[in-house]
Amino acid sequence: MTLRQVYAALYRTYGPQHWWPGETPFEVMVGAVLTQNTAWSNVEKAIVNLKTHDALDPAVITHTPARTLAAWLKPSGYFNIKARRLKNFCAWYLAAGGLAALQRLDTATLRRELLRVNGVGPETADDILLYAFQRPVFVIDAYTRRLFSRLQLIDGEESYEVLRHYCEKGLGRATGKVALFNEYHALIVAHAKSVCRKTPLCAACCLRRRCPLGHEILR
């Protein structure tokens, strides 16, 4: 089964996902930082708190006392750590010249700079690149690794970078790569949450006829 065939089956089943939730590129960036190790519904509550206090702004976040910021971010979990990380990110963002200056960087340079920010790892950086800056970067998360491992497209032990390059190369000739990568990642998340769980619901899976695990469980 190819990556494009997986995408087609997921899209037929779930339809467009309209990702990433966020009214501005900066809000998307904040969400990417806060969504580490928590559900998106919790991130939304934290973002609402920031908006309520007129604090969804890099300068305001940078100058807000850490304890105050942590209280606003409490719904997102690990709030003290995330307050520090968000402050680090916003300080970098402002020092780099903000959105306009960062948009002028090529993708490789921008990714390298993002990864230098304390608290920003590859998945968070790629979320920001794809959903805030509209760059053709494929996001790898635990759901992606789980799904592609079960389909035996990968062995599951590959590094993040190896998997990212595998996906980008496998879909590289497609037109509209940003839109494709955007939708594909969102569809994988939807499928993993509803069907391809840690304990999979193979009988309900749109990929079961092509999935070795599904065959094994359902036979």
Of 3.30.300.10, 1.10.1670.10, 3.20.20.100, 3.40.50.80, which CATH number belongs to 3-17+139-218?
A: 1.10.1670.10
Spell 28-57 as b/e; 16+ CB within 10 A means b: bbbbbbbbbebeeebbbebbebbeeeebbe
Question: How far is residue 106's CA from residue 2's CA, in Å, rounded to a whole number?
Answer: 29
Q: Are 133 and 119 in contact (CB under 8 A)?
A: no
Residue 174 pLDDT exceeds 70? no
Q: What are the structural domain ranges in the chain?
A: 3-17+139-218, 25-132
Q: Which residues contact 65 (CB under 8 A, 6 or more apart)?
A: none
Q: Using one digit for the tens of pLDDT, what is the confidence trace for 186-213?
A: 999 999 999 999 999 999 999 999 999 7
Identify the CATH class of 25-132.
mainly alpha
Share of the chain above pLDDT 90, in %: 89
Q: Using one digit for the tens of pLDDT, what is the confidence trace for 128-137?
A: 999 999 999 9
Residue 216 pLDDT exceeds 80? no
- The model scores a pTM over 0.85: yes
Residue 82 pLDDT exceeds 70? yes
| φ and ψ of 126, to 5 deg | -75, -35
Residue 70 pLDDT exceeds 70? yes
